[in-house]
Amino acid sequence: MFRVVLVDGYVDEPACFGVPPYISPYVRYVAGAVWDTVGNADIKYFTIDFVRENFKLVRKAVESCHLLIIVMGVTVPGKYLGGKPLTIREAIRLFGFECDCVKVLGGPAARFGCGFEGGKLSEPPEMAEPYFDAVVSGDIECYVKNLLENDLNPENVDPTEMRPNSSYIRDFAIKGAKIVTQHPNYPDYLICEIETYRGCPRSIVGGCSFCTTPLYGPPDFRPVKDIVDEVKALYKLGIRAFRLGCQPDLFAYMAHGAGEEEFPRPNPEALRKLYSGIRRVAPNLRTLHMDNGNPGTIAKHPEECREIAKIIISYHTPGDVVALGIESADPKVIKANNLKTLPEESLEAIKLLNEVGAKRGYNGLPELLPGINFVHGLPGETRKTFELNYQFLKQILEEKLLVRRINIRQVIPFPGTRIERKSIYIIRKHKRIFKLYKEKIRREIDHEMLKIIIPTGTVLREVYTEKHIGNYTYARQLGTYPILTVIHERLPLGKYIDVKVADHGMRSVTAVPYPLDPNTATMNLLQTVPGIGKKVATRIVANRPYKDLKDFMEKLESMGIESKNVIKWFT
């Protein structure tokens, strides 16, 4: 039997995410390419975190396989709770040993390199070439199919070849869906990133100076039917969470004039067909979210985008976020880097999304809110840039507009982008002010915004207990940009629970399981509840058991504790 080892080193690009609990399209397409060519192939799929913990087992599998495929690549800096992405150096250390199998490295790392920290040059793909039979700068699924059709002879296959069009991946996406069953998070805590199109509408004017997405060229839209059929295949396998996240601007999906205009006119009917089609084949899904939106598209086509936002809300699940690549509120930086919108246009986009999406949904979160991406270290940046960005965010807060999350990053210079090395000097020059500015935004903007979006007493539904850190449990809802929920107790992991928000950090909330049981709640949980300190918690524990909530209320009153506010946490 033909044996393949597929290692998921995780990806994080401007328009694609694949760090757990997300699984990217890349690995699904690759698996599909194998099964499309060799129908009975035995594919063993491993995440890089599993590899680190079980290296001897994985090495044994590699030594007995015919083909090793590693998919990896981080091109935007990020922090991750669910997994640690693979670096090129680590890939060499783990898989650089000699063996009889053909070894292939693909994904964004093979095309652009790999970078984890703003202001530092990325690891170049060339680093890996001595240790792998092929470093595939083209489409890895295309290369794998050609490799299999050429008897595993890398010399006969072009590693730069790109897929001819989006329809090429249709069968790969459907046939490769079943690889998700091998993911450690399957089925309950896994969200599939779904590609709607590749390329950038603004590539015709060069795109943003720092971004790798325009390097894919103009948009190549996947047909609605192809996307819906892929979701159908995943849903049949038990997947219940999906994100339409593999595009720079969902509002431009099937837009009129794409490839000819910088801001093509949106196509609401195409989005209606897409969302309704997904809901038809996945009626009981848990999560349907999106990712990126271009603030310029929204500002220049407000009526069409308003209609699209309403369509999304009709079919999605609450807690959805439109990540807006605003990047800077400094007009000089915007002009120097060919960014999308001036501050007043960005503000219009934020207002529109608030008007349509600020209503709270059934899971405790607003339906659809904007997120903001800021990038620092771009040409034209001065000390004034930091003040302009802060004032822009302050204006949003003062106008009582909601922003679900603010992502502040320093740019990673990549070969092929128009900044390359220019930004390293700028980032080093502004290192101290960037740190102070970021802390100020977290303290004065993020913290205050979080208290408005998720007030104390909000019930968050279906929060997944993910990790223990010390005596705390870290939990998140399964969705886009989930809010970190900290519970002051080591609860069983791998469970969906409802929680009630008790306090706010700068980017996280403290919560307790809801409803609390007065007979079993620990001292730590009781003390987390507003109005219950250590002394009251001790008395609650000492007066157990309680026959029912009425008995609990009466005993609270007899202790001199006003029960009406406390009881809300127990019912």
Per residue in 378-391, pLDDT (tens digit) is 999 999 999 999 99
Task: State residue 486's pLDDT score.
Answer: 98
| Digit-coded pLDDT (tens) for 294-305 | 999 999 999 999
Q: DSSP code of 406?
A: E
pLDDT in tens, 186-238: 999 999 999 999 999 999 999 998 888 888 999 999 999 999 999 999 999 99
Low-confidence ranges of the chain (pLDDT < 70): 118-121, 414-422
Rounded Cα gap, residues 217 and 215, in angstroms:
5
Q: Strand 16-17 and strand 134-135: pairing?
A: unpaired
Please choose, from the candidates 266, 178, 273, the residue with its C-alpha nearest in 3D space to the C-alpha of residue 226. 273
Q: Do the beta carbons of residue 33 and residue 40 sit within 8 Å? A: no
Alpha helix positions (H), 444-543? 447-453, 523-528, 534-542
In the prediction, which pLDDT does 366 show? 98
Asked, as a colleague might, if the bond just before 20 is cis with ω within 30 of 0, I would say no
Report the pLDDT value the prediction gives residue 428, as an integer from 0 to 100.
86
Burial class from Cβ neighbours inside 10 Å (0-12, 13-18, 19+) for residue 1 reads exposed
Q: State residue 79's pLDDT score.
A: 87
How far is it, in rounded angstroms, from Cα 43 to Cα 4?
5
Is 68 in a helix, a strand, or coil? strand
Which one-letter amino acid corresponds to residue 388?
Answer: L
Rounded to whole angstroms, the Cα distance separating 107 from 121 reads 18
Q: Which of 459, 465, 451 is nearest to 506 (CA)?
A: 451
Residue 367 DSSP class: S
Pairing of strands 241-246, 191-195: parallel
User: How far is it, in rounded angstroms, from Cα 182 to Cα 28?
Assistant: 11
Q: Are 85 and 10 in contact (CB under 8 A)?
A: yes
Q: Which two tokens stand for residue 306?
A: 């308003």
Task: Write the DSSP assignment of 319-354 as a string of letters.
Answer: SEEEEEEEE-S-HHHHHHTT-S--HHHHHHHHHHHH
pLDDT number for residue 422: 65
**Strand runs (DSSP E) across 185-265, as ranges?**
191-195, 197-198, 220-221, 241-246
Query: Which tokens is 461 given?
Result: 């539904």
Determine the pLDDT at residue 115. 81
DSSP for residue 538: H
pLDDT at residue 468, rounded to an integer: 98
Q: Residue 196: CA atoms inside 13 Å, Cβ hemisphere, count? A: 27
Q: How far apart are CA 406 and CA 396, in angstroms?
A: 12
Cβ-based burial of 56 (10 A; exposed 0-12, middle 13-18, buried ≥19): exposed
pLDDT at position 418 is 61
pLDDT of residue 562: 82
Taking CA 59 as the corner, what is the angle to CA 56 and CA 64, rounded to the nearest 5 degrees? 130
Domains of the chain and any CATH numbers: 3-166 (3.40.50), 187-453 (3.80.30.20), 459-569 (2.40.50.140)
Please choose, from the candidates 259, 194, 181, 238, the residue with its C-alpha nearest in 3D space to the C-alpha of residue 29: 194
